[in-house]
Amino acid sequence: QVQLVESGGGLVQVGGSLRLSCAASGNIFTVYTMGWYRQAPGKQRELVALMTNIGSTNYADSVKGRFTISRDNAKNTGYLQMNSLKPEDTAVYYCNAVLVTMSYWGQGTQVTVSS
């Protein structure tokens, strides 16, 4: 059973930065695709960024050039560096690990961007 624990969320002003972390229970990111998703109140969960097991990345248009997904295999941890934050980035951010039909989620971490 894969366990994911997010951390690093908080309250930040417009234009600020945060780095989210996703600690995994094992060395899974060399096998699983890691993703960051977010869900704002009243909205559906949406993809923010993906990194495949071989390191290919993909970003939502709304965060391109501002967010960076990365991982540290030695620490079994994935990251989402978020810069130039906007009020519309306010949401609960979730880490996901998926391999074929197996999909695991963390509990989420709140990010609030104040104007």
Q: What is the pLDDT of residue 1?
A: 83
Each residue's pLDDT expressed in tens, for the chain with a length of 115 residues? 889 999 999 999 999 999 999 999 988 888 899 999 999 999 999 999 999 999 999 999 999 999 999 999 999 999 999 999 999 999 999 999 999 899 999 999 999 999 9
Q: What is the pLDDT of residue 34?
A: 96
The span from the CA of 34 to the CA of 56, in Å, is 10
Alpha-carbon torsion (17, 23, 29, 35), positive or negative: negative
Q: What is the pLDDT of residue 36?
A: 98
Burial of 51-80, coded b for 16+ CB within 10 Å and e otherwise, reads beeeeeeebeeebeeebbbebeeeebbbbb
